[in-house]
């Protein structure tokens, strides 16, 4: 059967499509002038799921921008998503994230943070290192390669979220999450990696085993199913982290 994905509360405004720079489309939601968040996609692309999370974050009092790093392309299964992520120009993605953070600041956000999921989690750490406009980051189950990011050099608040059942070795499994904690300890800015028991990769998605890609389309992942306790705890930590570090 079809899985329900998160739906915005009645009265919540839909995400609006904007052009950050020529050739860089994005979706933005929330009140102008609120603290800003660059919200970064999973390897699927701009899915129903990630737009729902961004809209939910906007409902918590943030101006949220979701850049379309695949230029409109969408992976409908794991093979397509892996192909899209494999073809991503990570240096261009870094520059685009910096442009997005600067766009939010120019629009009136007093401060800007970054978060992202899977591939977007890795990208949020890159954004924290390379964008002066990004003041903190909350990566979910993703870490970047060292050619673009050295977390031990990031002198900003970082809070990571990883599942103990994640099997993506070298990217988001518990060993990699532990290594990230060591790097954040070396950075000396109080960075924290939270581990969630009985949660796997993609656990913040409403249905991690079959996330909503677009209306009526889900993708089988093979990941553990929803763990509401982990989802609720991670969400409350994410919102609390941004409220603390992006206070106007």
Residue 147's pLDDT is: 97
Give the total residue count for the chain. 248
Query: pLDDT tens-digit profile of 16-74?
Result: 999 999 999 999 999 999 999 999 999 999 999 999 999 999 999 999 999 999 999 99
With beta carbons less than 8 A apart as the criterion, state whether 53 and 62 touch: no
| pLDDT band at residue 13 under the 50/70/90 scheme | low
How far is the first Cα of the chain from the last one, in angstroms, to the nearest whole number?
44
Residue 65's pLDDT is: 98
What span, in angstroms and rounded, lies between the C-alpha atoms of 139 and 85? 17
Q: CA dist 198 to 29, 208, 230, 246, Å?
A: 32, 12, 8, 30
Stretch 162-173: mean pLDDT: 98
Q: Which residues of 139-156 are buried (b: 16+ CB within 10 A; e: fewer)?
A: bbbbbbeeebbebeebeb
> Which residues touch 234 (CB under 8 Å, ≥6 apart)?
140, 161, 194, 196, 203, 204
| CA atoms within 13 Å, Cβ hemisphere of 64 | 26
| Percent residues over pLDDT 70 in the chain | 94
With beta carbons less than 8 A apart as the criterion, state whether 203 and 230 touch: yes
Beta partners for 218? Answer: 212
């Amino acid at each position: 059967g079809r899985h329900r994905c998160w739906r915005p509360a009645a009265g919540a405004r839909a995400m609006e499509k904007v052009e950050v720079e020529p050739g860089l489309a994005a979706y933005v939601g929330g009140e102008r002038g609120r603290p800003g968040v660059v919200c970064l996609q999973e390897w699927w692309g701009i899915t129903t799921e990630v737009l729902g999370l961004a809209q939910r974050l906007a409902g918590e009092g943030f101006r949220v921008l979701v850049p379309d790093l695949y230029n409109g392309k969408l992976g409908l299964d794991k093979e397509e998503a892996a192909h899209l992520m494999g073809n991503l120009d990570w240096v261009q993605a870094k520059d685009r994230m910096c442009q997005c953070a600067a766009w939010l600041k120019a629009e009136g956000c007093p401060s800007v943070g970054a978060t992202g999921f899977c591939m977007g989690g890795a990208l949020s750490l890159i954004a924290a290192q390379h964008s002066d406009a990004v003041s903190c980051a909350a990566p979910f189950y993703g870490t970047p390669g060292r050619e673009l990011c050295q977390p031990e050099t990031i002198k900003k608040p970082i809070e990571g979220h990883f599942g103990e059942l994640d099997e993506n070795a070298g990217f988001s499994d518990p060993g990699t999450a532990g290594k990230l904690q060591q790097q954040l300890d070396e950075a000396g800015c109080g960075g924290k990696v939270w581990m969630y028991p009985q949660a796997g990769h993609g656990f913040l998605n409403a249905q991690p085993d079959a996330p909503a890609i677009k209306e009526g389309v889900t993708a089988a992942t093979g990941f553990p199913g929803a763990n509401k306790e982990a989802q609720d705890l991670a969400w409350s930590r994410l919102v609390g982290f941004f409220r603390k570090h992006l206070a106007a």
